[in-house]
Each structure stands twice: as structure tokens, then as C-alpha cells.
């Protein structure tokens, strides 16, 4: 890793440079929540944010996207993907993208996702947790890779970690904007990280979690929460690692049709229905439990399918808390 410093007074100019790479998306405050939106200047962004409603996955796995266009009976592939910049992505969301990568970039590669991944220039940014965050307990509070540049806040600027060849190129081209990192900067960096580590209020103990949950398959706790759950699927939409999609063909006029895919949610009754109406997950309990199992699935190479961003808690209308459910289910075993 190479480390450089971006002094506060150069921040604007650096951002202007990034805008030349392509449309730039950053966290913008709208009402009470934050969203990634296209921004034309630093002042439009609110970098002091905890989480956006939709995670940056929306730039890679689109809520709704066109796969093909059918004309006179033949498929035409859609084109038109351009380079873009994602500015101000938090460590947990970078980990979320890495989990999506495992799925979409494994053989056979999803060409739509892959192209956008290659087109994206990702600038990470440090953050402070709120009462919903539990990424530290999952080890996703710090990103070692998966970004081009990562900015860590200093009193008078940013400590920049360079995480890719393209990151190096950008730093190289803008050499005049960067300075060497001093011992004092390092001290500030360390202080910030220590303060941050202490600020977490929530944790999900990982030890034996996957097995405990499996053993608690018939726990009454699942049922208790499944009854509270409204099956709205919000938690799926906002989760940076949820990725189920549905595909449908739609006629746009009498001669042409399109094949689209859009987010699907495992809370929907139709998710497991097959021919003749047989449903492999017929009850809300089955579907509720399935989501928790999916999020808690442990892959030795990428960890859990949850990065602890706290979105599902913040945006759940039934106020169901992810960690609480899992802890109670685990507790019901004792």
C-alpha cells in the first residue's frame, strides 16, 4: 500500500479532477436519509454520513435493468456503459461489493456487472459508527482492498491509501496535490481509528454462529419474529449483499420486446413457487428464516453474507433488529 496526504485546501481541486473520469456519484442528504446521487461539486455532498438508504450495489446490480432488446424476433444486446466515479464509499459497503463480486464474477461471469465493476473508480472514506453499525464485530469495518483510493480523515486533510493501479495513476497525475505523510499525520490516523473502534455500540458475536443457528432451526424465536415481520422486503432492497433478481420479458410495442431483470426479495411468496403452484417456502416463517440463514452463511473465503451496515435495522418498519434476532435464536438453544 502507498500512503499520501491530501491537504484540505487541495480537496476541491482533487474532486474536480475525479469528475473528469466520468459522472461522479457521492452521498447527498435528502430529508433524513442519504443517497448516492450524481454530484457536480464537493458542496453538494455530505461526507459526514453513516449510511445511504440503498447501498452502492445499485450501480452494479441495478434495481431494474434491461438485458436484451428483442427486435423482429432476434435479441439485440444493450450497450452504453461508461466509466464513473463512486465517491465516499464506506468500508462495509466495499466489503459488500466484494461479496457481490464472489457471485457475479465467478464463472460464468455476469457481463453487465463485470463491465460496471471495471468502469467504476471507487474512493472510500472513513466514518464513525452509529447505534446500528456492527461491522467491527464482522471484520468489515476496515477495507484492505476493493477500492482505488481510500480517504481517512485528518484534522487538516486526508490520509490517502492507494489500493489499485488506477489509484496510483490518479495520484501520479495529480502529484502536485499530494504531500508526504508525516509522523503527526500517522498519530492522528491512529487516534481516529482508536476512537472509532471504541464508538461501536453493537456487535454480533461470530463464534460458532453458523452452527448454532442451524441447530436452532426449530427455535420458537423464528416464529415470534416472523409474526412481527410485515414481509415488505425492505431489508432485502437495502442490503448491500442481497442480490436475488427476477427476470421478465415485456413488450414495448407490437414489434419489439425487452428482457429485464429487477431486484427480487425472498420475502415474497412467489420467490420459491414452481410449476403448478408448489411452493418450496410456503410460509412467512420459512421465508423469514431463510433470509437470516442466507445472511449468516459463512463462506471460508469471504466470511458472512452480512457486513454489519445496519441498514436492515434502520429501514425495517417493524423495527426488527438483525443482531437481536440472531442472538435470541442462539440464546434459545441454551
Residue 172 vs 280, nearer CB to another protein = 280
Q: Is residue 141 within the footprint of ligand SF4 (CB under 6 A)?
A: no
* Omega prior to 106 cis, within 30 of 0: no
Should residue 1 be labelled a site residue for ligand FAD when binding is judged by CB under 6 A?
Answer: no
Answer yes or no: are the C-beta atoms of 317 and 230 closer than 8 Å.
yes
222: left (phi over 0), alpha (psi -120 to 50) or beta: alpha
**Set of cell numbers at residue 225:** 419474529
Q: Which is nearer to another protein, 209 or 232 (CB)?
A: 209
- Is residue 274 within the footprint of ligand FAD (CB under 6 A)? yes
**Residue 281 binds ligand FAD, judged by CB under 6 A:** no
Q: Is residue 235 part of the contact set for ligand SF4 (CB under 6 A)?
A: yes
Among 83-91, 157-165, 209-217, 318-326, the segment contacting ligand SF4 (CB under 6 A): 318-326
Binds ligand SF4 (CB under 6 A): choice among 154, 306, 326, 329: 306
Residue 264 interacting entry, from ligand SF4, another protein, ligand FAD, none, C-beta within 5 to 8 Å by type: another protein
205 scored as a contact of ligand SF4 (CB under 6 A): no
**C-alpha separations of 281 from 227, 267, 278, 285 in Å:** 16, 10, 9, 9
> Which residue is it, cell 412467512?
284
From the CB of 271, what's the least distance to ligand FAD, in Å? 11
| Closest CB to ligand SF4 among residues 40, 102 | 102
Q: If you compute the radius of gyration of the chain from its CA atoms, what whole number of angstroms results?
A: 22
Strands 84-89 and 24-30: parallel
201 Cα distance to chain centroid: 21
**Which residues lie near another protein (CB under 8 A)?**
67-68, 70, 73-75, 77, 79, 103-104, 106, 108-111, 115, 209-211, 213-214, 217, 243-249, 251, 257, 261, 264, 266, 271-276, 278, 280, 292-294, 296-298
Least distance (Å) from ligand FAD to the CB of residue 163? 40
Nearer to another protein, 172 or 217 (CB): 217
- Which one of ligand FAD, ligand SF4, another protein, none is in contact with 267 (Cβ closer than 5 to 8 A by kind)? ligand SF4
Which of positions 119-158 make contact with ligand FAD (CB under 6 A)?
none
For residues 18 and 151, what is the distance between their CA atoms, to the nearest angstrom?
14
Kindly give the residue spans of alpha helices, DSSP state H, lying in the chain: 11-19, 91-104, 111-119, 135-138, 165-173, 183-199, 209-215, 220-228, 234-238, 284-295, 311-314, 322-331
Say if residues 136 and 197 touch (Cβ distance below 8 Å).
Answer: yes
What whole-number distance in Å separates Cα of residue 231 and Cα of residue 237? Answer: 12
Q: Among 231, 244, 268, 294, which residue interacts with ligand SF4 (rule: CB under 6 A)?
A: 231
Question: Considering only 158-166, 168-176, 272-280, 317-325, which stretch makes contact with ligand SF4 by CB under 6 A?
Answer: 317-325
Q: Does 240 bind ligand SF4 (CB under 6 A)?
A: yes
Q: Does 275 bind ligand FAD (CB under 6 A)?
A: yes
Nearest-angstrom CA–CA distance, 174 and 171: 5
Task: Count CB-CB contacts under 10 A for residue 326.
Answer: 21
Closest by CA position to 255, among listed 76, 67, 79: 76
| Among another protein, ligand SF4, ligand FAD, none, residue 105 binds (CB under 5-8 Å by kind) | none
Positions in the binding site for ligand FAD (CB under 6 A): 273-275
Positions in the binding site for ligand SF4 (CB under 6 A): 229-235, 238-241, 267, 295, 306-312, 316-318, 320, 322
Amino acid at each position: 500500500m502507498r500512503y499520501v496526504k491530501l491537504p484540505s485546501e487541495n480537496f476541491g481541486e482533487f474532486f474536480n479532477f475525479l469528475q473528469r473520469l466520468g459522472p461522479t456519484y457521492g452521498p447527498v442528504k435528502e430529508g433524513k436519509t442519504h443517497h448516492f446521487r450524481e454530484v457536480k461539486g464537493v458542496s453538494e455532498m455530505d461526507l459526514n454520513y453513516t449510511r445511504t438508504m440503498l447501498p452502492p450495489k445499485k450501480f452494479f446490480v441495478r434495481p431494474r435493468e434491461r438485458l436484451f432488446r428483442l427486435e423482429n424476433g432476434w435479441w439485440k444486446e444493450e450497450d452504453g456503459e461508461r466509466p464513473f466515479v463512486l465517491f465516499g464509499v464506506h468500508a462495509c459497503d466495499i466489503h459488500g461489493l466484494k461479496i457481490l463480486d464472489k457471485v457475479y464474477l465467478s464463472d460464468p461471469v455476469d457481463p453487465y456487472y463485470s463491465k460496471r465493476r471495471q468502469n467504476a473508480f471507487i474512493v472510500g472514506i472513513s466514518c464513525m459508527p452509529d447505534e446500528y453499525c456492527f461491522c467491527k464485530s464482522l471484520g468489515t469495518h476496515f477495507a484492505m482492498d476493493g477500492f482505488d483510493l481510500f480517504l481517512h480523515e485528518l484534522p487538516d486533510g486526508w490520509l490517502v491509501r492507494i489500493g489499485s493501479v488506477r489509484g496510483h495513476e490518479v495520484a501520479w497525475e495529480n502529484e502536485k496535490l499530494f504531500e508526504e505523510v508525516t509522523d503527526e499525520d500517522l498519530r492522528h490516523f491512529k487516534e481516529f481509528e482508536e476512537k472509532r473502534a471504541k464508538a461501536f455500540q453493537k456487535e454480533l458475536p461470530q463464534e460458532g454462529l453458523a452452527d448454532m443457528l442451524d441447530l436452532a432451526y426449530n427455535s420458537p424465536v423464528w416464529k415470534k419474529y416472523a409474526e412481527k415481520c410485515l414481509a415488505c422486503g425492505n431489508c432485502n432492497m437495502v442490503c448491500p449483499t442481497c442480490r436475488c433478481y427476477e427476470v421478465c420479458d415485456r413488450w414495448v410495442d407490437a414489434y419489439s420486446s425487452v428482457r429485464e431483470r429487477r431486484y427480487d426479495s425472498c420475502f415474497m411468496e412467489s420467490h420459491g413457487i414452481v410449476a403448478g403452484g408448489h411452493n418450496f417456502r410456503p410460509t412467512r416463517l420459512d421465508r423469514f428464516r431463510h433470509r437470516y440463514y442466507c445472511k449468516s452463511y459463512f463462506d471460508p473465503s469471504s466470511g458472512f453474507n452480512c457486513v454489519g451496515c445496519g441498514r436492515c435495522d434502520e429501514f425495517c418498519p417493524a423495527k426488527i433488529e438483525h443482531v437481536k434476532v440472531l442472538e435470541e435464536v442462539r440464546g434459545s438453544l441454551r
